[in-house]
Every structure is written in C-alpha cells, then in structure tokens.
Structure 1
Amino acid sequence: MAFRFTELRTRRALYTVIASLEPYQAVPTFFIPAVVLSRHPALLAEIAGHRVEIGIHGYVHNDYRTLSHSEQHKQTEKAISVFEEKQVSFQGFRNPYLGWTEESLQVFIQLGFTYDSNDAVLHNVIDLDQLSPLLRSGYEKSLELFQAIECNTYTLRPYFAGQLLRIPTSIPDDEMLFDRLRISATREIGRIWSSIMRHVYDLGGIYVLNLHPERAVLCKQSLVALLSYTRDRPLPIWVTSLRNVAQWWKERSQFRLNIIPQAPNRWQVEANCTPRATLLARHLVVEDQPTTPWYGVDVQVPSHRFSVHAEKCPCIGLSPQTSQELEDFLFEQGYPFVRCSEQDAHLYACYLDIPEGLGATRKEQVQRKSRLLQQIEELKAPLIYYGCWPNGYRAALSITGDIDSITIQDFFRRIIEV
C-alpha cells in the first residue's frame, strides 16, 4: 500500500516532483478531487505556495461518463465551491479515468474553466506481441477505458473547443506501466518516457506525463532521466505547467500574418504577434534579415517585418467554397491563407478545396485534421507560419499528477464516496 495514516509519505512524494523540476525553472500541475482537498487544505496550500499548479479532478473520484449532463454540472459546481472555500485557485480540469463526454466539455465551458487535459494520446512504445495474453488484454482494456487516440502531429497539439482549450495527455501513464504491464524497473520506465519524448520532439508537440504522486519517489530517477533528455536535444524543449501552456495558446491565438505583394516573386511579411512568437519559414529567401536554422528545412525569423523572395506566395490558397471550419483550423495551427479561385491555385504553396468540412464525428475530425496537418507539414513549397511553442522551442513537456488520495483513509473513502 502506497499510503499511510498521515500525510507525510504523500508530502515527500509531492516535494520529490517539485524538486526534480526546480533546475528547469518549472513546476508540476497536480489535479485533486475536491473532497480530498477539503480534508487536506493546509498541505495543498503549502505546495501551492511553491507556485505549483492545482487543478480539479472531480468532486469525488468518479467516472463522468456514468453521469447525466445535469449531474456532471452539479458535481463540478460542488468541486468549484470547495476550491473557492479553501482559497485554492484553479484553471483546469482532468476527469478521473480521463472519462469525459461532450456534455463534460459543455459543463467546463459553462463554468469558466480555461482548459481540460483528458484527450488520451497513445504512444506505441510497448511491443504487444511480447505480452502474455492476460497482460495484453488488460492493457487493451485500459486503452478502451481512456478512449485513446493515435499519436500524430495533430493529436499532440492543444486546440480550442469553443472557449475551452483541450490539452492532450499521453499514455501509457505510470498506472498502466505498473499495474497493467507489470513494468516497475526504474531504468526501463525512464527509457519508455524518453522514447515518448523523442517522438513528441520529432512531431513538435507536447508530452503531458501523468505521474501519480504515490509512485513519485519510486520513479524519481526515471523522471530525472526524462528531464535530462530534454536538455540533450538540438532545439530546446519547453518544460512548463499546463496553465502556462493555456496562457500561451491564448496569446498565440491573437497572432496574425499579413503577406503583401511587392513585386513579382517578392512579398512583404508583417507579423502581428508578441515577442515570444516563433516565426518560421521554408523554401524562400528572407531579404536583409538574419535567420537561424531551426528544424528540418525550416529557419526561424526573428524580425516581425521583412521581405521575402519566393517562387510562390508563401501561404495557403483556399477555394471560395471551402468551409469556414477549415479556415478556423488553419488559423489556429498558425498557417496564413487567402481565398482565391482555382485558376490562381498555382500561385500559392498549396491549394485546398474542402467544402464538406472536416467531419461530423470525433473520429472523422481527428482523421481529417491529422491528414491535413501532415500534408501541410510536408510541403516542399514556400511557406511562412507560426510555430507551436514560444521562443523557438521545438516541443513542450508538462509533468502532471493526479492526487487521488493522500492518506490510507482517503484511499478507502473513495469506495463509499462514489
């Protein structure tokens, strides 16, 4: 049993995570059920005093998929009331078991949450053929429970659902490794986490690690190995909390790119953005301004006003009948676009004619957006766009943890509270 009758073991675990992140000038994001917070307000206030982010993990530790819309709303309101009563600020919500529904998103928006972190992105770092039938069955049941989606460039990026920012979380998490796969060796866990980070880095996304605090001491060296790996990459990785990710994505959503014709094969670029913006270019010449090699063929442009020479206009052409939904998608992804006729398609980096939109179901949306983003990322044509992360970072890493219980009493109360 990982818990004791007092808070001491959990306090040690929480500070283990906090201390591991201090050399990176970063803090973790912990999520906690409101009833657990209500029993341990002093401990949570103490760690919040170290700038640690605290998010809501339900009122009790139950699966929102078993609740009606009104029940979800009622329980979330009760959770908010507890946090406000204990004077613990919050911005985000993570559901127990990552068990969200479309009604959950409506509730989060109605109640003013900044973000949720429930979209489970699966990294294929486990060789299923090497598992026994029993372990494989248990692992696959976990994937079904978490409503896992495949890892790709699109699914590793945050996105807005109305006013709510959806930040993906990566699996397998520590519970799946320990309980489902029986992997407990520190070195192997560190290798798995670093392998996930390598893939996230290659795709330019965010790795949201969920490490339950009861395993933090046991996994300390694994966490140190992962964090050390972030310093070994050619481009920096942003180690930060989820609230900072949410703040950045909102800031980034205000950026604009104006591309103005000046002469044949010459355009003026005006980037309306904050100094933190990562402005990238490929397959063109930036005139009279320095550039820095970035990732692949892309270069980073520090100036926010400059001229470029290129064979085509470095933006995306959209047909008049292409849906507004696709325009909104390109805008959030940081790509400039203009509406134009099919006759002018050859003048642009690529031309999209997608009047049917990006799909009706979640599955269709993920598939179509993933394919479209891959198509644009692989363009071998002139393009200027905003990178996902601030200050030239290639990828992001957030260390998070669900504080489901603090003492053994909390652990057993979960059974009757649900």
Structure 2
Amino acid sequence: MKDFITQEIKNENAVLVGLITQDQNEDKVNEYLDELAFLAETAGLRPTKRFLQKMNTPNTATFVGKGKLQEIGDFIKDEDNEVGVVIFDDELSARQLRNIEKEFKIRIMDRTSLILDIFAMRAQTSHAKAQVELAQYEYLLPRLTRMWTHLERQRGGGGTIMRGPGETQLETDRRIILDKISRLKQQLKDIDKQKTVQRKNRGKLVRVALVGYTNVGKSTLMTLLSKSEVFAENKLFATLDTTVRKVTVKNLPFLLTDTVGFIRKLPTHLVESFKSTLDEVREADILLHVVDISHPAFEEQIEVVEKTLFEIDKTEKPTILVFNKIDAFSHTVKEEDDLTPKKRENYSLEELEQTWFSKLKENCIFISAKEKKNIDELKELIYDKVKEIHITRFPYNDFLYQDYEEDMPDQGDDQAE
C-alpha cells in the first residue's frame, strides 16, 4: 500500500528514546527498547544509539527534558552518525511532535507510527490494507496541526477539492481525512459481511485459534499442524491476514486459525481496525496460546495477550498454553553459596515446566516447533480438547473416536476461506 502516510524510512540510522519512570525501571525500559529496536529493524532501519532519561512523567512539550533534548540534538548534528530518524518508545502528542521536529529537523516517529508503518508494509489483502489505512488516518487526524500537505491528490475521483469561503488548508485536510475514514469504515463493513457468510459456511466444525505475542512461532506451528505452507519469518508481524486451514487428527476434523500477533503498547487504532480479523478469536471454541519460553519477559507477554484477549472477548474459552522454542531456552546457573534471591533467569526449563504443570495441569505443554519436539503430544492434547466439543455437536459419530492401529494421516491443505 503506497499512501501519503506511509513513509520511506528504510536503510536509515535510527536513534531510540525511552523514559525511566515510577512504572518502569531501567531494566524494563531497556527491554522495551530492545523490542523497539526489533520493530525498527523489521521496518528496515538500523538502530545505532539509545537515550534514556529518568522522569516522573513525560515533558508535555518535548517528551524529554531540555538537557536530554540537547544531548540527543548534539548526537544528531554530528555528521559521522548519519541519523535519519528518531523513534520514541511512547506515543507522542501533536505538540510534542511539532516541537521535537523543530528542534532536530529530521524525521520523528513514535512506537505507534512505527507499528503502523510496519503494518502498511506487511498488508497484502484488500481487507488488511483497508484496516491499516483506517488506523493510519485515525492516528493522523488529531496530529494535523503539524501537517501541511495537499491531500486533494488522495481523495480519488476526477478533479480536486475546492475550499469554501474562509476554509483553511488545515480544515480542508481534516474534512478530506474524515471523508476517507467514513468510506474505509463502510468498506470494512462490506468485507465483514462477506467474512460472516464465509464463517457460517464452515458448518459446525470445532474451531481452534492460535493466539499469542508477535514472533512466538504461531505461523511455524500452523505449518506443522496443517501440513501446508504458511508464511513465517523471524520478524515482528510477519503476517497480518487471518489464515484458516482444515486439519484432521486421528480422523477428527477441525478448523485451525492463525491470527495476528499482539504486542505491548499496541495502538488503540489498530485494535479497533482489526476487530473484524479478531472475530476469529471470538468465534473460536479453543485457544492455543503460543508463548516464547526463551524470551526473558515471556510472563509479561502472557499477561499482555490475556489482557488483549479479554478486551476482545470476555467469554472464557478452553485454552492450552503452548510454550514454544524450548530449543532456544537458556538460563544462568546460580551458585550454591549465593544468598541472593533466585531470579527468573536462574530457573531451569525443568523447574519452569514443573511450575506451570502444577498450575495448569494438562492445559499446558512445552514444545519446539522448529525442532518438531513434542508435536505428537501437542496433537494428542488438541485431539482430546476438540473431541470433548465435537461429541456434543455430532453425538452419533462414534466411529471417529475409535482407536485404530493405523490412524488416518493428518491433512492440512484445505483452506477454509
């Protein structure tokens, strides 16, 4: 999607900026900036420097304080650094954007606009493109005070927009964007109607949805379970469009859905725009919550996903916590004579397994989709959960549940949409 909001930001050096506050200490901020750096790399940028400042609340005019602003400015002015963009880890107001741009005289972004740019690059279908474009315009609307663009070119149709008596360029731009938002919402409503019909046509088959933080391996797992190629790569938001496959395990068919990954500080505009895509989560009978056990903050990622899922659908569903990437798990061995409290990074994989098994019983499993470890055990677990629901919908299909010496092979190339 090539739009006036999407900016060419590839192959530029980027500076990252974060705040240490009462709510997030230095370790937490560095962790957030690690994720921001990954986002920047996904967008084709090169993070070269990060700046931190300790403040109770962001400066309402410039986000950071005057001294830190000067320090960042000096780094940017050094031609050897070749900085092309500064990215702030929190959403900036129109006033902050205007003042910081005036000070640095280069491109300024925040986490929200960076995520929106990545979504714009990743969107493939008309559905995803419309959702992203709507989120972009809703993000831009309150920030028009810093823009001075001729949006008439974007309206479409023949001719240009003529301003009425006394109408300023800003008012014209605002009116055009509101018109765009209205038409995009109508377009998405039309697409949603088609999607609803498609979902109804799938019948009463049990629906299983893969959910989780971005880049935890959902698409790789989808490929394994469905035996069909699903796009996956080691980048954030590798896929935006919902993928549905018909899968059969031990003669028992069900629908498996791969959904867009969640992330901390996910822009509200995106959550709203992608609600139709997330309808797959609402209509799912069972959730497979995939977790990257090798990530140092996997427990916080679990909380982020659970919170977002609750916002989408407050109905409790059977959920299996699938701890992925056990092949990449590592921990620091704590010395026996060390009297300091044991930290998260000191726990072994075995200790974590025992902790979660005791907490969730049979509702969790540890696997490696990459190394195909414990995949058969996962299939067995899914089969048991699907079978419980399937029996209530198809009570006379007893033959499906009989044990065979040779089970029918799994199938996965039937796309349900």
Into which bin does the TM-score normalised by the smaller protein fall? under 0.3
TM-score normalized with structure 2 length:
0.25
Q: Considering only CA atoms, is the larger Rg found in Structure 1 or Structure 2?
A: 2
Which structure has the higher relative contact order (CA within 8 Å, separation 6+)?
A: 1
The structure that is strand-richer by fraction is 1
Structure ranking higher in helix proportion: 2
